[in-house]
């Protein structure tokens, strides 16, 4: 402090401790906080005294006219030399003597007010409570680290490479949609049992790295520690099957792929639900309907009176139908209306119809809704106590041939529970494919 009790003047770029950090103490002009903090860092680095200015004197004429004085070097308080400011209350005793001395040393640096106007007395009163809360509640203790073994089991995963991946961050619903790489096939281990497959894994020479020997399909696979494959395609689980079961499964997959191609050939117009650009291009209208992502695919859902709809093209002539892709593994019961031009086409119920897969249903469009129209508005509507499941895709298609339609109805791909529900609820048998 100066001889007359006024604080020493500081250069205009350096605001004294205790003043408003956003207002220059000498000029009254607003300074960026970064400038103030940089000045504080320089003062601390040079060991000069940090002299506080009382807030009510920060812009006073006395402060502006104060004569310059050489600050004395700062003397860091030592814990044994500073008397503890805390009363001997139960809370103060709870935080311990070491914490009391830390607070005392901290208060020794503050003369009246800190840079944001916090007083010594307020800090002394609040410190015991929040320090005790921090030590006793907001803490996670970890013990017995010495018991963690240096050797033991480790999770391995199949390294499937980086094909189709980029360096862009994929985090949250606004991230680019993840797509399966059509050129990367999930490997299969051909063996009579998992034990036999494990016996055919050979070390590669690299630490904790193994490669299958003659049992990988379509190619042998390399297994590496799971923790190191965060930026590569990988799989922790691999299918183990015999050659006969593999051939049967691949035949079913080829049939499903042929069915998808047939549906695509019948498609007149389609919209990727949840992809906002595509939805807006199809005249999206929605009320309390949320777009999100499930199993790496964009989707949309609503509940409790919400709705949404799109406008899709119709075929130039002939009948048409609306085909909708749902999530087949819904764990909650959903019930809602599928509508076209405001008219209910069907009341759909969803609950665990095809676990782990997409579940597609076609709804024929009445001729009165397609006559002399180029487009039709199709959507989903819920009642006060209703909700939709996850909807992934909506398309207008030409009807399937009678042979395909009857075959699909005879072989609905559903679990025994969905078959039972379809009989009890008297719902129409959904087509499996087109």
What are 317-351's pLDDT values in tens digits?
999 999 999 999 999 999 999 999 999 999 999 99
Q: Please tell me which residue, 381 or 79, carries the higher pLDDT value.
A: 381
Neighbours of 235 (CB within 10 A): 16
* pLDDT, tens only, 113-134: 655 666 667 777 777 777 777 7
How far is it, in rounded angstroms, from Cα 405 to Cα 362? 10
Structure tokens belonging to residue 245: 């079961």
Residue percentage of the chain with pLDDT more than 90: 45
Q: Which residue, chain included where needed, has tokens 């840079």?
A: 115
How far is it, in rounded angstroms, from Cα 431 to Cα 407? 8
Task: Give the domains, in start order, of the chain with CATH numbers.
Answer: 1-74 (no CATH), 82-136 (no CATH), 185-241 (no CATH), 265-425 (2.60.120.260)
Cα torsion at 173, 178, 179, 181 (round to 10°)?
Answer: 180
CB-facing half-sphere around the CA of 388: CA atoms within 13 A: 26
Closest C-alpha among 358, 350, 352, 380 to residue 295:
358
What is the DSSP annotation of 13-79? Answer: TSPPTTS-TTB-TTT--B--HHHHHHHHHHHHHHT-------GGGTT-HHHHTPPP-PPPPP-PPPG
3-state secondary structure of 243: helix
54: confidence class by pLDDT, cuts 50, 70, 90: very low
pLDDT at residue 77 above 80? no
pLDDT at residue 51 above 60? no
Label residue 277 exposed, middle or buried (CB < 10 Å: 0-12, 13-18, 19+): exposed
pLDDT at residue 297 above 70? yes
> What 3 state SS string does 256-311 have?
HHHHHHHHHHHEEEEEECCCHHHHHHCCCEEEEEEEEEECCEEEEEEEEEEEEEEE
Mean pLDDT of 80-108: 60
Helix (H) or strand (E) holding 335: strand 334-340
Cα torsion at 279, 284, 288, 289 (round to 10°)?
Answer: -30
- Residue 25, pLDDT score: 54
Beta partners for 205? none
DSSP state of 262: H
| Region at 341 (left for phi over 0; alpha for psi -120 to 50; beta for the rest) | left
């Amino acid at each position: 402090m100066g001889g007359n009790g006024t604080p020493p003047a500081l250069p205009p770029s350096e605001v004294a401790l205790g003043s408003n950090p956003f207002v220059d103490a000498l000029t009254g002009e607003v300074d960026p906080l970064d400038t103030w903090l940089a000045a504080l860092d320089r003062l601390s680095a040079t060991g000069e005294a940090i002299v506080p200015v009382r807030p009510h004197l920060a812009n006073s004429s006395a402060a502006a006219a104060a004569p310059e004085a050489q600050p004395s070097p700062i003397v860091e308080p030592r814990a044994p030399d500073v008397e503890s400011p805390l009363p001997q209350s139960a809370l103060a005793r709870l935080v311990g003597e070491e914490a009391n001395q830390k607070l005392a040393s901290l208060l020794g640096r503050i003369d009246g007010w800190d840079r944001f106007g916090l007083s010594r007395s307020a800090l002394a009163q609040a410190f015991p409570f929040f320090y005790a809360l921090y030590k006793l509640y907001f803490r996670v203790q970890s013990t017995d680290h010495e018991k963690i073994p240096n050797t033991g089991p480790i999770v391995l995963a199949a390294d499937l490479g980086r094909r189709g991946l980029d360096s862009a961050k994929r985090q949250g619903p606004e991230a680019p949609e993840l797509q399966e790489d059509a050129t990367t096939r999930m490997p299969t281990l051909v063996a009579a049992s998992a034990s036999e497959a494990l016996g055919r894994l050979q070390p590669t020479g690299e630490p904790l790295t193994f490669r299958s020997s003659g049992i990988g399909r379509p190619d042998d696979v390399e297994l590496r520690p799971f923790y190191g494959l965060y930026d590569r395609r990988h799989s922790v689980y691999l299918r183990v099957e015999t050659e006969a079961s593999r051939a049967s499964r691949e035949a079913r997959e080829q049939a499903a792929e042929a069915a998808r191609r047939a549906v695509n050939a019948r498609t007149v117009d389609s919209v990727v639900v949840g992809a906002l650009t595509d939805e807006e291009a199809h005249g999206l209208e929605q009320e309390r309907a949320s777009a999100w992502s499930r199993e790496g695919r964009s989707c949309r859902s609503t509940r409790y009176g919400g709705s949404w709809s799109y406008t899709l093209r119709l075929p130039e002539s002939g009948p048409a139908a609306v085909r909708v892709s749902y999530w087949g593994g819904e764990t909650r019961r959903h019930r809602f209306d599928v509508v076209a031009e405001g008219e209910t086409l069907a009341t759909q119920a969803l609950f665990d119809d095809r676990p782990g897969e997409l579940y597609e249903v076609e709804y024929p469009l009445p001729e009165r809704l397609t006559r002399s129209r180029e487009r039709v508005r199709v959507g989903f509507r819920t009642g006060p106590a209703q909700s939709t499941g996850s909807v992934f895709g909506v398309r207008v298609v030409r009807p399937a041939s009678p042979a395909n339609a009857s075959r699909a109805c005879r072989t609905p791909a559903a679990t025994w529970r969905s078959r039972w529900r379809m009989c009890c609820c008297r719902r129409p048998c959904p087509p499996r494919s087109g």
